[in-house]
């Protein structure tokens, strides 16, 4: 179990998809010269620091054919973004700003342009790398007409499954991680498609990463199932919390906060499944519709983010969503989810759908990081109605009560007995209340109360 003293508990993560954010071409021809598009990110570092984030999760950065998850070379930065030296400078700039760097580890599969798979395509059975790929058969045909078949991801021939049992594959992947720690000082990894990777490999990877730095953070992309298969002492620290991702927006859309309350209670309440696990909490990412496009009522952006930054786990913001930008998956792909960053110009940012949200998130991050109860505290449900939810988070002598109102009008709620008739500090409004038996919750808002 991740120690409660681990740095991840105090983190607020910013998630960036670099190929989209830097407006890179959608495909790599492997012939064009290096384009240092990463340079445009340097000016954003100070804004991220001011927002309060202290960890950057950057999506696929290494040479690939198209979207980054079809890797061609783990030891070369994608030429559409820059080179190794430029990314080293970017990593140092992040560190100087107090922002840890997390990389996207794409280890389950590679692209068809991966150097070892190219060798198989060229030399077929004579390639020394045949053993690197899972399910490679030369008595069958694939959809690409290669004259052989192989295991892929979800029926996608572009993503070729690696054979993690092969010692040279493991050595190659582990040496890449070692280089990333050495040259970029990475603090952890998001493991892409972790729910489709052999558990034994994840255990070995975990031991290797902790041998490089004991506080290395490992988070796996897991969509369905019991997260404890992956997030356990011998494997990963955490997984993506897709259960709460869905519950966050649908609870507001359906005027049914019982849904997200059930997930919080099931995951983090007394005897909860994931107590003590820093699950990765998110409202959107590079694979799902933007939260501003999911919510039917834009006024719910604030109470949703209030829950995101006060629920157990480690909260993250997907780039651009701090201004309420929209985007949906289409038949043409995920391009609308992965746009270029806007110009770093206040007039441009103020023209975005919800520029006010950035300031609200800045306040919520600061509020969370000022409270050990919100970072590390336990979870106890206090009240749940269709449009109101209240719970406490307690760590040591500090206890915080969070109350959220999804309704369009002010609503009163009763306080728990041990919170009544005493002064309370409202951390949201930064004012002191002399509460009696209850408090009023503003429309589409809430309160974060601490006993004075």
What DSSP letter does each residue of 288-309 carry, written as one string?
S--HHHH-SSGGGHHHHHHHHT
Report how far apart, in Å, the C-alpha atoms of 201 and of each of 57, 69, 227 are.
23, 19, 17
Can you list the residues of the chain whose pLDDT is less than 70? Answer: 1
Q: What residues pair up with 161 in beta bridges, in sequence order?
A: 109
Residues 107 and 62: beta-carbon distance below 8 Å: no
Report how far apart, in Å, the C-alpha atoms of 122 and of each of 125, 148, 152 are.
9, 12, 19
- Alpha-carbon distance 118 to 270, whole Å? 52
Task: Please name the helix (run of DSSP H) or strand (run of DSSP E) that holds residue 160, with its range, or none.
Answer: strand 156-161
Both structure tokens of 438: 């209850």
* Mode of pairing for the β-strands spanning 152-153 and 388-395: unpaired
Structural domains in the chain, CATH included, are 7-375 (3.20.20.80), 377-451 (2.60.40.1180)
Residues 6+ apart with CB under 8 A from 240: 219, 220, 221, 222, 223, 279, 280, 282
Q: How many C-alpha atoms does 390 have within 13 Å on its Cβ side? A: 20
Q: CA torsion sign, 375 to 379 to 382 to 386?
A: positive
Both structure tokens of 104: 């996207």
Q: Can you list the positions of beta strands (E) in 204-304?
A: 217-220, 238-239, 280-281
Give me the residue label for tokens 């983190």: 11
Both structure tokens of 25: 């071409």
Residues 6+ apart with CB under 8 A from 228: 273, 274
- Alpha-carbon distance 199 to 165, whole Å? 11
- Alpha-carbon distance 132 to 167, whole Å? 9
Q: 358-389 as b/e, with b when 16 or more CB fall inside 10 Å?
A: bebbbebbebbbebbbbbbbbbbbbbbbebbb
Task: Please name the helix (run of DSSP H) or strand (run of DSSP E) that holds residue 73, with its range, or none.
Answer: strand 71-77
425: left (phi over 0), alpha (psi -120 to 50) or beta: beta
- Alpha-carbon distance 329 to 338, whole Å? 10
- Alpha-carbon distance 379 to 272, whole Å? 9
- Alpha-carbon distance 322 to 16, whole Å? 12
Residues 368 and 309: beta-carbon distance below 8 Å: yes
Q: CA torsion sign, 293 to 297 to 448 to 266?
A: negative
pLDDT digits (tens, 9 = 90+) for 395-419: 999 999 999 999 999 999 999 999 9
End-to-end CA distance of the chain: 33
3-state secondary structure of 431: strand
* pLDDT reported for residue 333: 87
* pLDDT reported for residue 1: 58
- Alpha-carbon distance 9 to 276, whole Å? 10
Query: What's the count of helices (H) and strands (E) in the chain, helices before strands?
Result: 13, 21
């Amino acid at each position: 179990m991740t120690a409660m003293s681990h740095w991840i508990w105090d983190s607020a993560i910013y998630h960036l998809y670099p190929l989209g954010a830097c407006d890179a071409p959608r495909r790599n021809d492997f012939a064009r010269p290096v384009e240092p598009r990463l340079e445009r990110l340097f000016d954003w570092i100070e804004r991220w620091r001011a927002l309060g984030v202290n960890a950057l999760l950057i999506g696929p950065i290494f040479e690939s054919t198209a979207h980054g998850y079809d890797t061609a070379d783990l030891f070369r930065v994608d030429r559409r973004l820059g080179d190794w030296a430029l990314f080293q400078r970017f990593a140092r700039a992040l560190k100087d700003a107090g922002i840890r760097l997390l990389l996207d580890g794409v280890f389950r599969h590679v692209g068809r342009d991966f150097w070892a798979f190219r060798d198989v395509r060229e030399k077929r059975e004579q390639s020394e790398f045949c053993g690197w790929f899972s399910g490679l058969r030369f008595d069958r045909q694939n959809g690409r007409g290669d004259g052989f078949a192989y295991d892929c991801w979800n029926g996608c021939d572009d993503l070729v499954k690696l054979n993690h049992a092969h010692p040279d594959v493991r050595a190659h992947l582990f040496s890449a991680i070692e280089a990333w720690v050495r040259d970029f000082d990475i603090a952890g990894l998001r493991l892409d498609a972790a729910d489709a990777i052999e558990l034994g490999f994840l255990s070995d990877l975990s031991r290797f990463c902790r041998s490089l730095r004991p506080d290395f953070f490992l988070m796996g992309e897991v969509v369905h199932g019991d997260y404890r298969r992956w997030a356990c002492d011998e494997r990963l620290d955490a997984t993506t919390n897709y259960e709460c991702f869905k519950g966050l927006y649908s609870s507001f859309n359906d005027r049914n906060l019982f849904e997200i309350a059930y997930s919080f209670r099931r995951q983090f309440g007394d005897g909860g499944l994931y107590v003590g696990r820093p699950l990765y909490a998110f409202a959107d990412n590079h694979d799902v519709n933007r939260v501003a496009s999911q919510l039917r009522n834009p006024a719910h952006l604030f109470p949703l983010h209030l829950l995101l930054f006060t629920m157990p786990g480690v909260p993250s913001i997907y780039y651009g969503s701090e201004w309420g930008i929209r985007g949906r998956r289409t038949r043409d792909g995920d391009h609308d989810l992965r746009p270029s960053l806007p110009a770093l110009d206040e007039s441009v940012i103020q023209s975005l759908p919800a520029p006010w949200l950035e300031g609200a998130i800045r306040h919520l991050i600061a509020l969370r990081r000022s409270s050990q109860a919100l970072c590390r505290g336990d979870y106890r449900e206090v009240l749940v109605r269709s449009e109101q939810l209240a719970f406490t988070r307690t760590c040591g002598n500090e206890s915080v009560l969070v109350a959220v109102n999804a309704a369009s009008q002010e609503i009163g709620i009763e306080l728990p007995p041990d919170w009544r008739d005493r002064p309370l500090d409202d951390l949201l409004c930064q004012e002191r209340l002399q509460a009696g038996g209850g408090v009023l919750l503003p429309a589409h808002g809430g309160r974060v109360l601490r006993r004075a």
